[in-house]
Structure 1
């Protein structure tokens, strides 16, 4: 009786709470086919999962129980799993299940953004590969949650998913991501929340700072140093209580200088130094790369590490004092290791310094997150290179900051009181607007642009009315509207659809008044007018200056900006017709 009562109570409670799941689907950069070596783990990127309950809003990451190839990984646990797939006659292998030196599909996320995936063979599309990988990730998530919560409880709790995407991704790439995630089973109870990767990282990192050291008006640079890219963005604190609120201080920047390039340099170093030695093969390279990727790269710091050098296993190679090979180990000198790290670290420093220099606010600190952001040497070099007034911090759990931040943002969407950090405004990356044709005004418009419009028997001119201009603050949840009137000749019969193009311009420093070569169509909104009643349609009839009768329909386009997407809604005669998730602002 007590057990039945307990289950009933849990079931009731389950209906009142939610599970928030964050997924950091990793793979930002590939390596050109011509640059591939025999090592198939070079440049591996990883995916992570975190989750939380609205009743217990602390993030938990899946850091163990990943399906693995025990011969290769010996049951190791990690916060993330390799973003890799392999198809065999027996089925599909993914992540840690794939043996070290066999070919595999990797970097297929690039294909969603229009890039070409670097994979063995081209028979699998980026969408199908992503769907298969996310399906495996989702199956493992559900298995883990069932182990943690129990099958009966899991069935009663609705799940909402938050998926991270690069801030620079296009609308097409994001739509493909949503489609593949849906096919993989990540549907949940509501619309999936797309989250900007650097914004998610900032949410987690800023929340973890010592609240006693924060002041309203302080500005920070968030440096998300990942596998392929380093993304930077600046924020300013505007409120400390009851929750931390920030605004984007300046548009972000980034570069291709992530830790994948360290892997590449290390592989090139080994191949050049001992690649001609008898017994050297792809398997030895893969083992050496694994130690570099999982141990040396994270721990390397000249001031604290082994001053005698670093060793990697090279079993089977003959002793060679000149090369530093002794008893199956290769000694890499501190100078050699510095030569591997320094060019990549120098590029990161240049990016960070550039972000600080272009900011119109005084930068108090740099927050390092991401896998490469955990590196001690990067932190030391930044501290030495930057002004002493700029503090360099490494928040805890830097490698999982993005996925943890995604969960925090999802909790805030599910219940406003759970929002730990509020991003109150962002800086628009582009100009966004719609084209209108107002009456020509010589004080506002260029003479050469005007044309005679017989319908109105006066001069009109094509212009762009902008929702938001590049660099302006964008507030989430604050819709912007632009009104328009669209005419349909009554002589042509009942109108079937109403179309409206949304334009953007990422090139022009100042938003142009008239369309030019920099202004391009971003997305087309379409309203199906078949459901409009004859009575409503009749009320729109009117006669223009040309003496002809038109259906004159008043409407507006509404734009709402979010972390990693923009929602456009076309409204006509006070009826909302179409919603499109468009390109990141």
Structure 2
């Protein structure tokens, strides 16, 4: 297929390794050239299926599983499921236990604000084994790149082999706080994943999100200066200022990630620990990983769609408790079952347990969110101080899709305009995919 100049590319494809979820998006350059200002884009993504609880998402968990010889096993939901199966089995067909495998879960969390990540950096898997950080990223990028290639060929009815690597412009996203050396680290990881440097672009996450938002919403494009609040697994807020060109934006100031959606997950984990006891919960996580993944995915589904109602019409949120956790609590002589465990917990007057389900009032469930939301709002407010003249607040990221989060921001920043773009959870990916054209 044809090559030559920037127009040589047939497709633009973005890969985003996120703190909690990762994914890819793509568009044909031919279709991108037809795009008009302020409207839908031809950028495509896929839907990932967890395989349980019917949990569907536009990205996959940032989870990587490597075999004992450090070769690739699986990524995303499949990595979670495969590792869960390994934990349940004494050993695999070759006599290896799960501890011989390398499992990295939400591995970008520790690197999100680390400006000094380098080729020599190392990270530990969940069992404490070291591996070069660049290998973890290279395996992940290679998987997403190969999946991306297959998806393009399938959807565009292209025979595999006829689409060359030089026909695709790859775009990788990185945190805004990463320095040039850290970006070079990502470039090397991409090269290791067989992405040639001449076909690779690096763009920061807030720049990509800004490109998407200003295209999808005319009102955002007219703003001079606004706060880009990226609410993912961690939270970043960036001041975006219009440059001389109508479609160019400049990243002026960055407040790097702190609390975000992952901290809501931690709050739920603490809630369970307060009920069943830390020792029982740790045993459950270590020995019944499939059930632990199930309850975490339950919570993820509830978290996404949660919207607190009025106190006069409060509803319940239901979480099914796996039998394995019930058995551990029942075998605990100090608790002897879930009913007594709840009565002895700080939530005795709030929650109930009926037919293997926790019945959690909305007011209690919202408590998992509130400390994180309060922290995010307090830090966002700081960006209004000093010489900053802020026209609006723009919310993107998966956590920004939660109605409770949106309501809290609109109430707190009632004197400012708060924008919540359509498909904000994909703002970084879609902006990066259209970086050449938008």
Normalised by the size of structure 1, how large is the TM-score? 0.57
Larger Rg: 1
**Aligned twin of 1:301:** 307
1:503-532 alpha-carbon deviations (Å, 9 max, x no partner): xxxxxxxxxxxxxxxxxxxxxxxxxxxxxx
Any conservation in 2 of the 1:24–1:49 contact (CA below 8 Å)?
A: yes
Aligned residue pairs total 371
Q: Does 1:95 align with 2:76?
A: yes
* Structure with a larger share of its residues in strand: 1
Deviations 1:430-469 (A, max 9, x none): xxxxxxxxxxxxxxxxxxxxxxxxxxxxxxxxxxxxxxxx
- Match in the other structure for 2:271: 269
Q: Which residue of 1 aligns with 2:146?
A: 139
* Cα deviation 1:229-286 (Å, max 9, x = unaligned): 32322324766xxxx4244374222341111111111111111123479899334443
Deviations 1:342-367 (A, max 9, x none): 11001110122111223432x33211
User: What is residue 416 of structure 2 aligned with on the other side?
Assistant: 390
Greater helix proportion: 2
1:168 to 177, 190, 194: 177
Please say if 1:357 is aligned against 2:390: no
Say if 2:227 and 2:237, in contact at 8 Å, map to a contact too. no
The gaps in structure 2 that reach 5 residues or longer are 33-40, 88-97, 327-336, 344-350
| Equivalent residues in 2 for 1:165-244, closer than 5 Å | 165-187=174-196, 190-209=198-217, 211=218, 213=219, 218-236=224-242, 244=246
Evaluate the alpha carbon distance shift between residue 286 and residue 121 of structure 1 in structure 2; reply closer, same or farther with a 3 A threshold.
same
The alignment status of 1:113 with 2:117, answered yes or no, reads: yes
Contact 1:249/1:359, CA 8 A, preserved across alignment: no
What's the secondary structure of 2:315's corresponding residue? Answer: coil
Q: Quick one: which of 46, 53, 64 aligns to 1:85?
A: 64
Q: 1:60 aligns with which of 25, 39, 43?
A: 43
Residue matched to 2:133 = 126
**Which residue of the partner structure matches residue 408 of structure 1?**
434
**Are 1:346 and 2:346 counterparts?**
no
In the other structure, the counterpart of 1:26 is: 18
Q: CA RMSD in A?
A: 3.2
Q: Which residue of 2 aligns with 1:373?
A: 400
CA contact (8 A) 2:123 2:130 kept: no
- Aligned partners of 1:228 and 1:113: how far apart in 2? 18
Cα distance in structure 2, aligned partners of 1:23 and 1:156? 15
| 8 Å CA contact retained: 1:216, 1:237 | no
Distance 1:192 1:296 in 2: 38
SS at match of 1:151: coil
- Within the candidate set 268, 292, 299, 1:292 is matched to 299
State how far apart, in whole Å, the 2-side matches of 1:12 and 1:250 are.
39
> Do 1:220 and 1:236's aligned partners in 2 also have CA atoms closer than 8 Å?
no
Partner SS, residue 307 of structure 2: coil
- Pair 1:134–1:247, CA change in 2 (3 A): closer
Inter-partner Cα distance in structure 2 for 1:248 and 1:91: 39
